[in-house]
Chains A and B, each alone.
Chain A
Amino acid sequence: MFPKVGKARNVTRIIAKLDIKSQYVVKPIHFEGLRKIGSPAQLSRGYYEQGADEVFYIDIVASLYERGYDLAQIQTCAKELLVPFAVGGGVRSVDDFSRLFHAGADKVVINTHALQECPDVITRAARVFGSQAVVVNVEAKRWDGWWECYSDCGRIRSGRNVLEWVKEAVERGAGEVLLQSVDHDGRRRGFDVELIGNVIGSVSVPVVAASGAGTLAHIKELLACCTPSGVAIASLLHYGVSTVGEIKSELQECA
């Protein structure tokens, strides 16, 4: 047989997460506030050059404002990258998926419409585009003993239990989960490790853990407890605390 090549390496994807509002990357805290960080295209390019494995681009107000996404801006960002580009925010139909793939998305991310109105859109999208192209975004809010799914940029409750919803979404054909925490996002005090561990244990698809990284230690602590397929980082990168390269080096040392 063919000999194995290469040494063991950390395989957790390091993903740059861009929260988008109009022509800016913004960074909310607890899904509130629209502090501007910079230009989506410039930041896409910058994080790509730092070594990001993927870029996630989420229009965080499209559902809240009940409007569509900016295809031109998506195209501009996609052109800056030679790594996968996941795009979401305000996705409501299979046609939306299609338009986004034709404008630079490699994966499309969906939350509000699927969660609150029409879970069937996941099923239909997976039939056309394949599960690997359908990412369900979860905004999880912790209560006593369970987590609830939120929508519309972490504002509106759904009454759905996160663990049940992710199972349903995956059964319908979603191929990846982007898991965010309303309690931890933007706070830079660490991840909701219990949430992430529980979701990973509930589904067989890759889970991208997000929300809460403020230091390299937070990421290491997370990976010591569970094995998300990727981690999505925002504040840590946006505020220049660490670069993607530094994150990867740190994790490589522990691999």
Chain B
Amino acid sequence: MKIGVVDYGRAGNIYNIVNALEAAGADAGTISNADDFAQYDQLVIPGVGAFPDALEEIETRGLRGALLANIARKPTLGICLGMQILCKVGFEFVECDGLGVVDGEVRPIQCKGPVPRMGFGSIEVVRPSRLLAGVTPTDEFYFMHSYEVVNYTDVTGLTSYAEHRYVCAFETGHIFGVQFHPERSREAGIGVLKNFLHAGE
């Protein structure tokens, strides 16, 4: 099972994602240009970046076409920003079109606590989910973000923070998005990555 982590240039905590995927049992590598996609069975789009800049880098590196084509065919997991850029539009710094793979919007998180949200929290699995199989109410995952996905319906997971409940996971067909960082969520996160490894089955 070979998993390619999309390296869209300057951003993305690539090193940690690759290592976590390997800890989950995958053979992982990075995708820096359009030709790299072919060797991978599944894709991960990393987090730790900003919406407009990420889209711009994907464009300038000539990755957009190949990325969309591969997302259409291969199980894809978007993590944090990676989940957000799958959406239709984002509002980080400026209004900016996303990849449009799913129908959501990415807007600033509205809550009563410090923003960005920074810390561990539990998630509520609200629909049967292959990705979140086995996740319990006491499992904790790391959240590190200032924007959330709204106006989207294939929601599998919700989370609560500072009196605000919002989407932390969606799943449609073979496309998965998580707002939290499974590569930094201890064994619970590795469990989610393992589920992703089997997503193609």
B76 located at the interface, meaning its Cβ lies under 8 Å from any Cβ of chain A in the complex: no
Known A-B contacts A126-B50, A127-B53; the reply to A102 vs B15 at CB < 8 A is yes
Q: From A94, A175, A205, A230, give the contact of B119 (CB < 8 A).
A: A230
Enumerate B116-148 residues with CB–CB distance to A below 8 Å. Answer: 116-120, 122, 124, 126, 137-138, 142, 144-146
B48 located at the interface, meaning its Cβ lies under 8 Å from any Cβ of chain A in the complex: yes
Known A-B contacts A5-B122, A5-B137, A84-B144; the reply to A78 vs B114 at CB < 8 A is no
B115:A204 contact, CB within 8 angstroms:
yes
A106:B16 contact, CB within 8 angstroms:
yes
A133:B146 contact, CB within 8 angstroms:
no
Measured between beta carbons, the chain B residues less than 8 angstroms from A84 are 142, 144, 181, 184
B189 located at the interface, meaning its Cβ lies under 8 Å from any Cβ of chain A in the complex: yes
Residue numbers of B with Cβ under 8 A of A are: 9-16, 19-20, 23, 48-50, 52-53, 81, 92-93, 114-120, 122, 124, 126, 137-138, 142, 144-146, 158, 160, 165, 181, 183-187, 189-190
A82 located at the interface, meaning its Cβ lies under 8 Å from any Cβ of chain B in the complex: yes
Measured between beta carbons, the chain A residues less than 8 angstroms from B50 are 126-130
B15:A78 contact, CB within 8 angstroms:
yes
B20:A82 contact, CB within 8 angstroms:
yes
CB distance from B56 to the nearest CB of A (A): 10
B114:A204 contact, CB within 8 angstroms:
yes
CB distance from A185 to the nearest CB of B (A): 22
B119:A229 contact, CB within 8 angstroms:
yes
27 pairs across A/B with beta carbons < 8 Å? A2-B158, A6-B137, A11-B119, A13-B119, A13-B120, A53-B119, A75-B15, A78-B15, A82-B185, A82-B190, A83-B185, A98-B11, A101-B12, A101-B48, A104-B16, A106-B13, A127-B52, A127-B93, A128-B11, A130-B92, A130-B146, A132-B144, A133-B144, A175-B116, A205-B114, A206-B118, A229-B119
Q: Lowest 10 A-B CB distances belong to which pairs? A: A132-B116, A5-B137, A98-B10, A130-B50, A206-B118, A206-B114, A175-B116, A104-B15, A132-B144, A84-B184
B122:A6 contact, CB within 8 angstroms:
yes
Measured between beta carbons, the chain A residues less than 8 angstroms from B9 are 98
CB closest residue in chain A, given B116: A132
Known A-B contacts A5-B137, A78-B16, A82-B190; the reply to A130 vs B122 at CB < 8 A is no
Measured between beta carbons, the chain A residues less than 8 angstroms from B118 are 13, 132, 175-176, 206, 229-230
Residue numbers of A with Cβ under 8 A of B are: 2, 4-6, 11, 13, 53, 75, 78-79, 81-85, 94-95, 97-98, 101-107, 126-133, 175-176, 204-207, 229-230
Measured between beta carbons, the chain A residues less than 8 angstroms from B10 are 94-95, 97-98, 101, 128-129
A83:B186 contact, CB within 8 angstroms:
yes
Q: Which of B23, B50, B185 has the most CB of A within 10 A?
A: B50
B14:A101 contact, CB within 8 angstroms:
yes
**CA of A79 to CA of B9, assembled, Å:** 21
